[in-house]
Amino acid sequence: MASLFDEMDKMGNTRTGTMIGRDDMSDLTMTQLEAIAGRHSTRPASDVKANWRRIVMEAREGEVIVTNYNRPEAVVLSVERYAKLKAAARTKDPLQRLRNEFESELAILRTAGAADKLREIFNTTPEEMAAAANALTAHSEE
């Protein structure tokens, strides 16, 4: 059985660079959602209140798609499945590398003396910057 992420790949997702946004998901047809969900059951919204315990038990076996007038409205899944999906999403997050890189760059600004160094840089005149750049270029050519 294909995972949720494998099915999302067919529609476009984070690994292919196309994000499925909240608006895109609301336009899913029942057929598309069923393909993503894999093993699941379907319940009309009117059943939720009266049969909540049974729906929760069904969710332990697979996702439960809740429909409203035969249109998918929500998906009920077990806590275990939710945790597994969240963990998988974190490990496949394409922005994580960028976040780590950004945090690494910010760490430099948190070091002792960083604020003074920034003030010095911002107070530098254009002539001083040009001289420093020329000196660096001359040094790198040696």
What's residue 80's pLDDT?
A: 92
* Residue ranges making up the domain that contains 103: 96-141
What's residue 78's pLDDT?
A: 93
Task: Return all residues near 5 (Cβ < 8 A) that are at least 6 apart.
Answer: 13, 15, 88, 89, 92
Residues 100-119 have pLDDT tens digits of 889 998 898 888 998 898 89
13 vs 112, residue with greater confidence:
112
* 78-107 residues labelled b (16+ CB within 10 A) or e (exposed): beebeeeeeeeeeeeeeeeeeeeeeeeeee
Residues 17-65 have pLDDT tens digits of 333 444 455 678 888 887 777 778 888 888 888 999 999 999 999 999 9
The residue written with tokens 């496949």 in the block is 92
CATH number, domain of 30, equals 3.40.1620.10
The residue written with tokens 């409203």 in the block is 68
Q: Do 83 and 17 share a structural domain?
A: yes
> Would you place residue 7 in the very low, low, confident or very high pLDDT band (cuts 50, 70, 90)?
very low
